[in-house]
């Protein structure tokens, strides 16, 4: 009995010491954990040459009133509907998925998602990409794959022809 009380008291003291040393109030509400040994620095959003080239290509292409967004999470532009537990499972399936670029109309509704296909992807990433592709297809959001080293003007023209037929 005394050992259990001692263990609870020791855990309480350890938690209190941790809270005093590492947890700082943020604007008087809530808490943010700070890690004294970690350093944070900004990094470019478009880190590889293929993504930068695709951004420049999409920015100069005549897209009408479309807006171009980079590195968008799937859960930011798709919503899961249905019974509560099914929607929760569907949201869990979307978590972590992203598209390289998302084009939206003037009302910010998704028009087309764009993915830059890397030359070689690990098997696990290929499976996740296939799942994301099926998810977008079921939601009615077309997905345009741009090969990393291809004539994107030709790919875009072919996509536009396929879309109109």
State the DSSP string of 74-111: HHHH----SSHHHHHHHHHHHTT-EEEEEEE-TT--EE
79-98: buried (b, 16+ CB within 10 Å) or exposed (e) per residue? ebeeeeeeeeebeebbeebb
Instruction: Tell me what pLDDT residue 120 has.
Output: 55
Q: In the structure, what pLDDT confidence band is assigned to residue 124 with cuts at 50, 70 and 90?
A: low
The pLDDT, as a whole number, for residue 2 is: 72
Tokens of 19: 């809270």
pLDDT over threshold 70, residue 97? yes
- Judge contact between 136 and 113, C-beta under 8 A: yes
pLDDT value at position 61? 73
User: Nearest Cα to 77, choosing from 85, 69, 65, 88?
Assistant: 69
Tokens encoding 41: 């620095």
Confidence bin at 125 (pLDDT 50/70/90): low
Q: Check residues 88 and 112 and name the one with the higher pLDDT.
A: 112
Q: Which of 30, 70, 38 is nearest to 52 (CA)?
A: 70
* 33 or 116, which is more confident: 116
pTM score of the predicted model: 0.63
| Structure confidence at residue 57 (pLDDT) | 80
What pLDDT is stored for residue 67 in this prediction?
85
* Res. 42: pLDDT tops 80: no
| Residue predicted with more confidence, 136 or 95 | 136
pLDDT higher than threshold 60 for residue 130: yes
Which of the residue ranges 26-35, 57-66, 74-83, 107-116 has the most confident prediction, judged by mean pLDDT?
107-116
């Amino acid at each position: 009995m005394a050992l259990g009380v001692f263990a609870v008291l020791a855990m309480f003291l350890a938690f209190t010491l941790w809270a005093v040393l590492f947890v700082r109030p943020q604007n008087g509400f809530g808490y943010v954990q700070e890690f004294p040994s970690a350093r944070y620095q900004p990094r470019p959003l478009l880190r590889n040459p293929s993504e930068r080239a695709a951004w420049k290509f999409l920015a100069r292409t005549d897209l009408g009133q479309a807006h171009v967004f980079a590195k968008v999470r799937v859960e930011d532009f798709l919503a899961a509907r249905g019974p509560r537990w099914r929607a929760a499972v569907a949201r869990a399936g979307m978590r972590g998925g992203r598209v390289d670029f998302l084009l939206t109309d003037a009302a910010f509704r998704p028009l087309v998602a764009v993915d830059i296909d890397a030359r070689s992807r690990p098997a696990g990433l290929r499976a996740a990409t296939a799942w994301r592709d099926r998810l977008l297809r079921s939601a009615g959001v077309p997905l345009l794959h741009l090969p990393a080293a291809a004539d994107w003007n030709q790919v875009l023209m072919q996509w536009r022809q396929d879309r109109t037929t």
